Amino acid sequence: MPFDWQRLFISDQAPTSFLWEVLVRSLFAFGLTMGALRISGKRGVRQLSLLEFGLILVLGSAAGDAAFYPDVPLLHVVVVFAVVMALYVLLNYLIDRYSRIERLFEGKPELIIVEGEIDLAAFRSASLTAQELFGQLRQYQIEHLGQVRRLYLEATGEVSVYFFEPQHERPGLPIWPEVYHRPLFHLPEAGAYACHTCAAVRDLPAGPAPAHCPRCQQPDGWLPACPTPRQA
């Protein structure tokens, strides 16, 4: 029967006293999960790698099933936790010793920005959007890519940014959303313009913009290169 309130809030297949068992099961599952996280250490609570994300999914499923399904024996859940955590410890040992296994399970850092320009091949292989990348850069108070000497996308999904020395900064592609989303196809005046796709900066005359960027061959327009120095 739809909207059977007793079935929705309690159960028509278990007595009300089963709620006490749910309480015990929940405490048990919570204790197992906290113990697993304690074994994994701080590595398991920072930005997750693929291995750690898989660990959380498996343990979360096992703990959730044990919390309220009456036909899931708690000893079975203990075995699942023991096997998964043993596998996690073993894989971490192998990852620390063998770089090939590390690349297999956790990937490797990708160099996305070099000397203020985007490496499009690495950028596309990372399955990253410009919005995601620039959103992370704005957390570093970066206004344009001319302030960035190198940027790595780490295996955890975080970015590591290395800046130009102030005297070596150059005009670059602005990454403010209200500016970035308005590429130009007709240039109002001569000056330095950045490719909307790869951030390459070129001195261009006023008038119709080049149909394709000389560096990346993309027809996505140009933006006035921003010369603002970075404020540390």
> What CATH number corresponds to the domain at position 211?
3.30.240.20
pLDDT band at 3 (very low <50, low <70, confident <90, very high): confident
Is residue 91 a part of any domain in this protein?
yes
Is residue 12 domain-shared with residue 75, that is, in the same domain? Answer: yes
Considering the entire predicted model, what is its pTM? Answer: 0.69
Order of all β-strands in the sheet with 191-195: 201-204, 191-195, 222-224
Which pair of structure tokens corresponds to residue 141? 């108070």
* Neighbouring C-beta atoms of residue 47, cutoff 10 Å: 12
Same structural domain for residues 75 and 141? no
Residues 100, 114, single domain; the answer is: no
Count of the separate structural domains present in the chain? 2
Average pLDDT of span 170-188: 96
Give, in order, the Cα–Cα distances in Å from 179 to each of 78, 115, 195.
Answer: 55, 21, 13
- What mean pLDDT value characterizes the chain? 86
> Worst-scoring range by mean pLDDT, 12-16, 55-59, 93-97?
12-16
- Determine the average pLDDT of the residues in 9-17: 72
At 35-92, the pLDDT tens digits run 776 666 544 444 667 777 778 888 888 888 888 777 778 888 888 888 888 888 888 8
Higher per-residue confidence, 74 vs 213: 213
Which residue, among 179, 171, 227, has the nearest Cα to 199 in the 3D structure?
Answer: 171
Does residue 229 lie in a domain region?
no
pLDDT at residue 44, as a whole number: 43
Of the candidates 104, 128, 149, which is a domain's last residue?
104
What's the CA gap between 153 and 48, in Å, rounded?
A: 14
Whether residue 232 lies inside any domain: the answer is: no
Q: Are residues 98 and 142 in the same domain?
A: no
pLDDT score, position 225: 97
Is the same domain home to 53 and 126?
A: no
Residues 120 and 94 in one domain: no
Distance CA 7, CA 5 (A): 5
Q: 195 and 222 in contact (C-beta within 8 Å)?
A: yes
> Do the domain assignments include residue 64?
yes
Beta carbons of 192 and 232 less than 8 angstroms apart: no
Given 87, 104, 121, the domain boundary residue is 104
Q: Which residue has the higher pLDDT, 78 or 171?
A: 171
Neighbours of 201 (CB within 10 A): 23
Residues 74 and 115 in one domain: no
The radius of gyration computed from the CA coordinates of the chain, to the nearest angstrom, equals: 26
Residue 168 shares a structural domain with residue 92: no
Whole-angstrom distance, CA of residue 101 vs CA of residue 95: 5
Is the domain of 116 the same as that of 53? no
* Co-location of 39 and 144 in the same domain: no
Range of the domain at 18: 5-104
Considering the domain architecture, whether residues 129 and 179 belong to the same structural domain is answered as: yes
Of residues 121 and 7, more confidence is placed in: 121
- Residue after which a domain boundary falls, among 44, 70, 104: 104
Helix, strand, or coil (residue 91): helix
Q: Is residue 26, in this structure, part of any structural domain at all? A: yes
Residues 6+ apart with CB under 8 A from 85: 36, 39, 40
pLDDT on residue 28: 87
pLDDT, residue 123, reads 93
pLDDT of residue 46: 44
Q: What is the mean pLDDT of residues 149-158?
A: 87
Instruction: Give the Cα separation of 187 and 200 in Å (integer).
Output: 16
69 and 32 assigned to the same domain: yes
Report the alpha-carbon distance of residue 158 to residue 205 in Å, rounded.
Answer: 38
Residue 231 lies in a domain: no
